[in-house]
């Protein structure tokens, strides 16, 4: 599955989350580190859902940019 992630700049680092997987978050000092951390968090999150017998949410978030 392919999930959309949101990466935000914080004061001293970056944070990432997935609109389609509430509670799945990660942080890192760089964008690249944050991307790696969120990939690990996704795998852990999906594994936990599976172990609990909960459904895996389908990716539904669409991402687009607009000129303003």
Map out the domains of the chain as residue ranges. 1-68
Residue 7, pLDDT score = 98
- 6-29: pLDDT as tens digits: 999 999 999 999 999 999 999 999
Residue 19, pLDDT score = 97
Residue 65, pLDDT score = 92
- 26-63: pLDDT as tens digits: 999 999 999 999 999 999 999 999 999 999 999 999 99
The two structure tokens encoding residue 21:
């997987």
Write the CATH number of the domain with boundaries 1-68.
3.30.160.250
Q: What are phi and psi of 11, to 5 degrees?
A: -60, -50
- Cβ atoms within 10 Å of 28's Cβ, excluding its own: 17
pTM of the entire predicted model: 0.88
The two structure tokens encoding residue 56:
């895996």
Query: Which residues make beta-bridge pairs with 8?
Result: 15
């Amino acid at each position: 599955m392919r999930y959309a992630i949101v990466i935000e700049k914080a004061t001293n680092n970056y944070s990432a989350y997935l609109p389609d997987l509430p509670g799945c978050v990660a942080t890192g000092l760089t964008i690249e580190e944050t991307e790696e951390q969120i990939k690990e968090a996704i795998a852990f999150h999906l594994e936990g859902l599976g172990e609990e017998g909960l459904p895996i949410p389908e990716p539904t978030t669409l991402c687009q940019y607009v000129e303003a």
